[in-house]
Amino acid sequence: MNILTLNVGSSSLKFGIYRSSGDEPVLVVDGAVETGEGAHALHYRTADGSIQRELHLDGEAAPLPALLELPSLETIGRFDAVAHRIVHGGPWLREHCVIDRDVAARIEAASSFAPLHVPGALRWISRAHDAWPELPQVACFDTAFHHPLPDLARVLPVPHELRAKGVERFGFHGLSCESILRQLESPPERLVIAHLGSGASLTAVRNGRSVDTSMGLTPTGGIIMGTRPGDLDPGVMLFLLREQHCTNHELQELLEHRSGLRGISGLSADVRELAASDQPLAALALAQFAQSVAKQAAALAIVLGGIDLLVFTGGIGEHHAPTRQHVEQLLRPCFPGLATRVLPSQENLVMAAHAQRLLSTGQP
């Protein structure tokens, strides 16, 4: 079984091609497509070594034919399935599943929960269907790992009747969390996973189960992120609307694209650019980010009754040592024996494994 995984994030498309003969899927090719002004940059690696290509292509769908031209496809042949990362399935979709018309409609209905992610994933589902109308497609939900959360974490402090409309804590980066558990030979009882990237969240895991997490109803809440503010005094939003400083659409734009590291620094959402800058606001953005991570980790320690292990993952968590060191420095006075690890987020591998299992057994 040859499986293509498409992982649409808030700032890039990650992809993987896996081959499976019944056991664990084996990586053939993986990489990412980053979109800039007028160009797509395709980076990928194969079993033969690391290769980098930069493609200058027109049109949003241009990366798909480029993926089909990767050299490794000549050796493995056609795809048997396509698996998609779906950030939010709303209150209706809580388990990974094969996509049919009903599932696609319910994913579309969940777009308002995660407007940065779900519409993009739907576009790639449509493109994959156009390219291979006969292939099964699988939806892998970031929220599935967290379901069901304990009521203590799941229920938000709003009127009870709003829960019937789907207002509750869902939790995200679940595929990343699952990949961390797969990599830990013997996961500790009290584990905190810090997925730090353009989108960022922390999750408390007790005995392999999510019991609390920083994001809530949507992926906008929690800690500071690249362009999202995380938890923000709702009075700020009420003030902006009440005084007509922005419209509903402008408020969404502000919260999704102009806040977080970019908003604090006035410069960039990229920690590499901020770290290279000599601007005081760039340093402030990095310091606030590290402190928000440490504060959330300490809060989750209350939920777990301590921390046996803190795992850093995600683009920042894996590759930006100064941020990790700052977080650890802030936590050490309260947790002098804190153990930490850095592990890669293997969302695509988890997606391929779920697709293989679903298509082989039909069981969620």
Other C-beta atoms closer than 10 Å to the C-beta of 48 total 9
Phi, psi of 7, rounded to the nearest 5 degrees: -120, 95
Pairing of strands 49-52, 39-46: antiparallel
Name residue 277's amino acid: S
Catalytic residue among 142, 151, 278, 308: 142
Tokens 């920083």 locate to 214
Q: Which two tokens stand for residue 150?
A: 């304990």
Q: Which two tokens stand for residue 94?
A: 């809580």
Q: Supply the DSSP symbol for 126.
A: H
What is the C-alpha to C-alpha distance for residues 329 and 308, in angstroms, rounded to an integer?
A: 17
**3-class DSSP string for 179-241:** HHHHHCCCCCCEEEEEEECCCEEEEEEECCEEEEECCCCCCCCCCCCCCCCCCCCHHHHHHHH
- Of 93, 121, 106, the closest CA to residue 10 belongs to 121
Name residue 318's amino acid: E
**Whether 142 is catalytic:** yes
Which residues are known to be catalytic? 142
